[in-house]
Structure 1
């Protein structure tokens, strides 16, 4: 999309994916693109007037919508109504204000957790609405699914180019490394770092919660950022698109733990606490649609991406989200 100046507003711009996008665009430095990364401190997007004021301030032509109310498993389970209502308000305000101010394109971020709880694998883009999501996070899931419904509505009624992407498990620099609410890879990195500070002898033991056998597809945040930019610039369908590594690149939790241990040069041994729940054994997603468009896209090798994330955490622990 060369030619006219693009002013791209990124909501949720200080999070894992927003920071990754910022890293990539700063390397590219495209003269016809102006990027604005906003945080929750800049505007409460669940408030209509604050959302309008934000758009009036920046006059975006394009929007990457990452902002959402998010939380861990137990927070979701006890606050499903809050997750539903807050995210419905955020998404409606961003999409409706985009329409009212003439935004050319909106790319919103969904999640693989919104897919039906009972489904066949691999999951693909056509299956999002095929049944209820997992009951633990139905509020968040239905609010996210409604973005896809709204995108279709804005397209049919107003001809808008609003679309959405569905990433697999994302990790990388600027992740949430909190012991209470982080996902598996940042949790492994944080716990390994804390252990090594106390003991990195051959007698040290690092306990992985669960059997380590479940399989997951992990995407490095900088790879996801590149794909987000491709969607913004080149993908012009309202139909959602899964942004995931290949099915063959699915790895076990034990492999992830071993890669983290190697990146830290951990001298002890890994043990597995099988009394802890494993969760779903696999959540395989098909990236056939992505590969149809980008057959030659090269994902960062998993071990390399883990090593880069570990190095970032060691250098930035004092300012990381803990």
Structure 2
């Protein structure tokens, strides 16, 4: 039987990484495309997934046997804090429509992408897959986190009532080529890459928001794409799975900024704006379940992955998602 894999949010950071892996890994290899397999990378131009009619139309057009659901309204810490209801409502609508259309169109499997922000703010570390619903999420991404939590609830409900093979992945902080570098909406690495680029170009200071002390586990988008391909082939459990480097690989924002300065060959003034919010201090996640299920996986070393990401941004600055460059 022919397989059609529909990737929602197919032109975003992870969608583009998946496309790269599917196009560059050898056909039939562990992470490569399989014979009789078609991949569709859909964008918001193909349909507004907040609208059930447009979502249904997308399923009718491509008739996917498998869906990797990446589409979401996303943003950095400041945007999440400002638009809590919008983040909650839009993401609930998107997720409900995608899952229900998959059920009504008899899609074989759906993998949805969650985020470590679904976890409770007050929780014992490291985070693991059993702690998602054990308390309220951090106030800074309250709306987005609750919407993403509901995907896990829906997956279990669809499984129990209809036997659907719906599951979800929980990646830690993702970075790589094709990221969103809009300074109003970007996550930490693309925001810092863009700020450092502008500081170098304009001969101004490179200012990092916050204290530089918060810690994060970062995963390179190409590595994450391979893990999603593995999930598509091998992982059929309704319970979510954390996709991450080991918890010992946590880096501070300052360490990330230092690495960006090195990759960008920036030699100007560099400081921290401690009046800006830091967001959650740390949220270390365990990848124990991933390694137990998958066996070993070779993650790209952080500095190598960052160099590739910075190089891509410099080479594609004119077409990258940078927001309003005139105001930058």
Whether TM exceeds 0.5 here: the answer is yes
Out of 145, 148, 154, which is 1:150 matched to?
154
C-alpha separation between the residues in 1 aligned to 2:261 and 2:175?
16
Match of 1:107 in 2: 111
- The offset of 1:195, in angstroms, is 1.3
Match of 1:27 among 11, 24, 30: 24
After superposition, give the CA deviation of every residue in 1:229-280 in whole Å (9 maximum; x if it has no partner): 1011111100000001111111111111111111111223533333433332
Structure 1 position 168, deviation (Å): 0.3
User: Residue 83 of structure 1 aligns with which residue?
Assistant: 87
Matches within 5 A, 1:24-103: 24-28=21-25, 29=27, 30=33, 31-103=35-107
Measured in 2, the distance between the counterparts of 1:76 and 1:240 equals 23
Judging changes above 3 Å, is the alpha-carbon distance between structure 1 residues 116 and 220 closer, same or farther for their aligned structure 2 residues? same
CA distance in 1 between counterparts of 2:145 and 2:182 reads 23
Matches of 2:72 and 2:129, distance apart in 1: 21
Deviation at 1:84? 2.2
Question: Structure 1: how far apart are the matches of 2:144 and 2:300?
Answer: 30
Alignment check: 8 A CA contact 2:78 2:185 kept:
no
**1:282 maps to 2:292:** no
Shift of 1:20: 0.4
Residues 72, 281 of structure 1: CA spacing in aligned structure 2 closer, same or farther, 3 A cutoff?
A: closer
1:11 paired residue number: 8
Report deviation, 1:214.
1.8
1:164 has 2:161 as partner: no
Cα displacement (A) at 1:72: 3.7
Corresponding position of 1:268: 268
Q: CA deviation at 1:32?
A: 2.6
Deviations 1:198-229 (A, max 9, x none): 33xxxx74332222222110000000000011
CA deviations 1:100-153 (Å, max 9, x no partner) are: 111000000001111111111111110000111123332222211111111111
- In structure 2, relative to structure 1, the CA distance for the partners of 1:175 and 1:299 (3 Å cut) is same
Distance change >3 Å, CA 206–CA 80, structure 1 → 2 = closer
1:312 matched residue in structure 2: 312
Alpha-carbon separation, structure 2, partners of 1:152 and 1:282: 28
Where does residue 221 of structure 1 map in the other structure? Answer: 221
Aligned residues: 315
- Could you tell me the TM-score, scaled by structure 2's length? 0.92
Picking from 189, 193, 202, the partner of 1:198 is 202
Q: Which residue of 2 aligns with 1:127?
A: 131
Q: Structure 1 stretch 135-144 or stretch 293-302: which is displaced more?
A: 135-144
The offset of 1:74, in angstroms, is 4.1
Structure 2: gaps (5+ residues): 28-32, 323-328
- Bigger drift between 143-152 and 68-77 goes to 68-77
Shift of 1:78: 4.0
Using the size of structure 1 for normalisation, the TM-score is: 0.93
C-alpha distance in structure 1 between counterparts of 2:205 and 2:87, whole Å = 38
Q: Secondary structure at the match of 1:44?
A: coil
SS in structure 2 opposite 1:119? coil
* Residue segments in structure 1 that go unaligned for 5+ positions in a row: none
